[in-house]
């Protein structure tokens, strides 16, 4: 499932293929993703030149002088650059065909992803306007997270996964960052002291940047943008390791549901 590092890796992978290229055609084979792809998308894009490929949280922003295509990869989405003539597979829902006969192809078996259009400043789009800070920017720091978490009774894991607080911390990296910070995922956010919050900010930044360097954690069906299966997963300390020994102390990793999501932690190392 693409998390922020996967999205960033994708962005870096596709950018050199797209930048300054002109769009010749848009093929939508399946418009029903999380939201229906706007029927006007092709008309907006055809003939336009791609001027920038940015990211906000897990949203990719592909801009032309005419406006911005906003993409989200959801749970199972991936983007690849293929020759335009490449036969499409079952879940290849959208092609952005370039004038140079190359093609940006969106594949998304579970269709939790999205392709939207925003005429003006994409950051003003309803889905982006209220997003929290970027985890790798300086604005995400101990002071910010400490202040934001005061009086909050929600568990720290749910808190750091709240995109209105900080974007791009998904289930895998939330579990991993909490382990590295020695914090139990179930502790109320508002009861964690400044020093431990500082520590958590550091581990979130570390775990995300390491994954970006590694090319993104890849589970199941993520595919790197060059089409090769991405296989550069960093060592996961707790995620998916229910009943296995903690690498740090040897005691058994616990799994429990938190807000319908799996939390993994070590009872001994995380307090």
Partner DNA sequence: AATCGCGCCTGACGGC
Partner DNA sequence: TGCCGTCAGGCGCGAT
Q: Residues interacting with DNA, by CB under 7 A? A: 1, 3, 32, 34, 57-58, 72, 74-76, 90-91, 109-112, 126-127, 151-155, 158-159, 161, 163, 168, 170-172, 220-221, 240, 259-262
CA distance 174 to 266: 14
Select 158 or 237, whichever has its Cβ closest to DNA. 158
Burial annotation 83-113 (CB, 10 A radius, 16+ → b, else e): ebeeeeeebbbbbbbbeeebbbbbbbbebeb
Other CB atoms within 10 Å distance of the CB of residue 235? 8
Give the nearest distance from C-beta 44 to DNA in angstroms: 21
Cα 214 to Cα 211: distance, rounded to the nearest angstrom: 5
Closest contact distance (angstroms) between CB of 150 and DNA is: 9
Rounded Cα–Cα distance for residues 156 and 68 (Å): 34
Q: Which residue lies nearer to DNA by CB, 163 or 209?
A: 163
CB of 247 to DNA, least distance (A): 19
Give the integer Cα–Cα distance in Å for 6 and 73. Answer: 10
Catalytic pick among 44, 56, 58, 196: 58
In whole angstroms, the minimum distance from the beta carbon of 26 to DNA comes to 21
Nearer to DNA (CB atom), residue 240 or residue 251: 240
87 to 37, 73, 77, 95, 197: CA distances (angstroms): 22, 21, 18, 11, 50
261 as an active site residue: the answer is yes
Instruction: Confirm whether 2 is a catalytic residue.
Output: yes
Q: What are phi and psi of 103, to 5 degrees?
A: -150, 135
User: What 3-state DSSP class applies to 6?
Assistant: helix
Closer residue to DNA in complex, CB, 158/225: 158
Minimum gap (Å) between residue 175 Cβ and DNA: 9
**Is 58 one of the catalytic residues?**
yes
Residue with tokens 């009943």: 243
Q: Which residues contact 132 (CB under 8 A, 6 or more apart)?
A: 162, 163, 164, 165, 166, 167
Cβ proximity to DNA: between 121 and 259 the closer is 259
Catalytic residues: 2-3, 58, 261
């Amino acid at each position: 499932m693409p998390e922020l590092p996967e999205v960033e890796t994708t962005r870096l992978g596709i950018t050199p293929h797209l930048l300054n290229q002109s769009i010749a055609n848009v093929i939508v084979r399946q418009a029903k993703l999380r939201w229906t792809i706007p029927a006007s998308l092709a008309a907006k894009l055809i003939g336009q030149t791609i001027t920038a490929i940015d990211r906000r949280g897990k949203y990719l922003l592909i801009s032309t002088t005419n406006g911005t295509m906003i993409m989200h990869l959801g749970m199972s989405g991936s983007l690849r650059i293929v020759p335009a003539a490449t036969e499409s597979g079952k879940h290849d829902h959208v092609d952005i065909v370039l004038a140079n006969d190359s093609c940006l192809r969106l594949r998304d078996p579970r269709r939790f992803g999205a392709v939207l259009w925003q005429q003006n400043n994409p950051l003003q789009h309803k889905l982006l306007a209220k997003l929290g800070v970027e985890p790798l920017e300086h604005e995400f720091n101990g002071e910010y997270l400490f202040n934001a978490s005061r009086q909050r009774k929600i568990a720290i894991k749910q808190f750091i996964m709240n995109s209105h607080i900080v974007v791009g911390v998904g289930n895998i990296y939330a579990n991993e960052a909490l382990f590295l910070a020695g914090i139990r995922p179930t502790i109320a956010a508002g009861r964690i002291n400044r020093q431990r919050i500082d520590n958590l900010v550091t581990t979130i930044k570390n775990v995300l940047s390491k994954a970006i360097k590694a090319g993104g954690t890849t589970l199941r069906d993520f595919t790197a943008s060059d089409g090769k299966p991405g296989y550069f997963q960093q060592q996961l300390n707790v995620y998916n390791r229910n009943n296995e020994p903690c690498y740090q102390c040897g005691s058994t990793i616990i799994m429990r549901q938190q807000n319908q999501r799996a939390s993994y932690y070590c009872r001994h190392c995380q307090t």
